[in-house]
Amino acid sequence: MSKTTITVYGIPNCDSVKKARVWLTDHGVDYVFHDFKKQGVPPEAVDQWLKHVSWEVLVNRKGTTWRKLDPALQASVVDNASARAMMMEHASVVKRPVVVKGQSVIVGVNPEAWLGVVS
C-alpha cells in the first residue's frame, strides 16, 4: 500500500509557509516542499488546485505582490483562466501555503484541515 505524498507549495521565507512546515514537522508528517522561487509554479498543479478550490481563495489579494500590480491588471482577474494566468506570471500572488494530498487542497494556515489530511 503506497502512501500519498503531501506537498507544501510556497516560498521559504513566508511566515505562513514557515508555520505550516513547523506544524507538519512537529506532528511527524513527511512532506515534500515545492519552492515557488526556485521551482516556479507548476501549471498542472494550478489546474488541479482550481478543480478543488475557488480562484478567489488561491489569489492573495491582500498581499504585497497584489497591491503592487497595476489596478487594470488586478481588475482583469475575474475567473479561473485569468487567475491561472496571474498565478503563472506572478508566483507570489498565490496565497500560501498550498498543502496538497491526493485530491485535498488546503490553502493558507489551517491546522484543523491539515489534521484531516495527515491522519
Residues 55 and 116: their CA atoms lie apart, in Å, by 22
Residue type present at position 41? V
44 catalytic, yes or no? no
- Strand, coil or helix: 98: strand
- Determine contact, residues 86/46, Cβ cutoff 8 Å: no
Exactly one of 14, 45, 57, 69 is catalytic; which is it?
14
Which residues does the annotation mark as catalytic? 14
